[in-house]
Chain A
Amino acid sequence: MTYQLCLYVTGNTSRSQKAINDLKKLCTEEFQDEYELTVIDVLSQPEAADQANIIATPTVIKSLPRPILRILGDLSDKDKVLFGLNIEPSGSDGFS
């Protein structure tokens, strides 16, 4: 199964880089190579953000596997991010 994620950030600032690094780390640890991560800079592509109905940065949208889910905010807490995207942490028995 390939996970499809899209991360919307604001430019290439330190805050954006942190969000990108946090999400990449999570993807590598949880999905190994089985993921596609697209990063969209809202400053460069406001139309894309509009189309995706982004209200704030950073926002992550998981489009696959279904259901489509989105979370916004700090991505440094891996467990909270996985929970928000309804993804069971690897090596766990699921959410309790």
Chain B
Amino acid sequence: MSTSESKLKACETKKHILIIDDNDAVRKAFTLALEETPYEVDGAASGEKGLEMYQEKGYDLIYLDLKMPGLNGTDTLRELRKHSSDVPVYIVTAFHKEFFQELQILEAEGIAFDLLKKPVESDQILMVTQSVFEGPTVQDAGH
């Protein structure tokens, strides 16, 4: 395989990640955590923008905030699943029953998602992302 073919293949197989969160600092934290990885990271400041970007570009993994003005996380995920049933989506939220009520409705509708606990540290973002693309990741006992 020539160098240009190798580059093209690497580009084709590059994983794309979308962070949907209205908080600039959160989007930046995800981007920084993943900047040394081979993955390409984009951010969207609203559910509406995230859906638009997903339809334009397509993504291999989505991190989605739950509480956002406008289209919130659950409604964004409902819309997203109309276009893609298989892209992995992590809803980033605190593990509290009050936040889970809306998520239980989503689950009852058969809408698939996973959870990432808030607040999240950079090494945890990296670990979860790697577990999606590279298989199961060992979690340190300290985390």
Contacts and interface: CB of A to CB of B under 8 A. Distances in A.
A binds B: yes
Question: What secondary structure prevails in chain B residues at the interface with A?
Answer: mixed
Contacts, number: 95
A42 B95 contact: yes
A15 interface: yes
A4 to B, nearest CB: 16
A13 B138 contact: no
A74 B107 contact: no
Which of B124, B128, B139 has the most C-beta atoms of chain A within 10 angstroms of its own C-beta?
B139
A68 B127 CA distance: 18
A54 to B, nearest CB: 7
Given A14-B112, A46-B95, A55-B116, A70 B132 contact: no
B57 interface: no
B124 A55 contact: yes
Interface stretch (A31-39, A77-85, A87-95): A77-85
Nearest to A54: B117
Given A13-B110, A15-B112, A55-B120, A71 B139 contact: yes
B113 A43 contact: no
A27 interface: no
A39 to B, nearest CB: 15
Nearest to A8: B115
Nearest to A69: B138
B82 interface: no
Contacts of A60: 136
Interface residues of B, number: 31
A84 B140 CA distance: 11
A70 B139 contact: yes
B114 A74 contact: no
Interface stretch (B38-46, B48-56, B97-105): B97-105
Contacts of B138: 69-71, 84
A7 B139 CA distance: 14
A7 B136 CA distance: 13
Contacts of A55: 116-117, 120, 124, 128, 139, 143
Given A15-B112, A56-B124, A84-B137, 4 more contacts: A43-B103, A71-B136, A72-B131, A80-B135
5 contacts: A10-B115, A44-B104, A49-B95, A55-B139, A77-B135
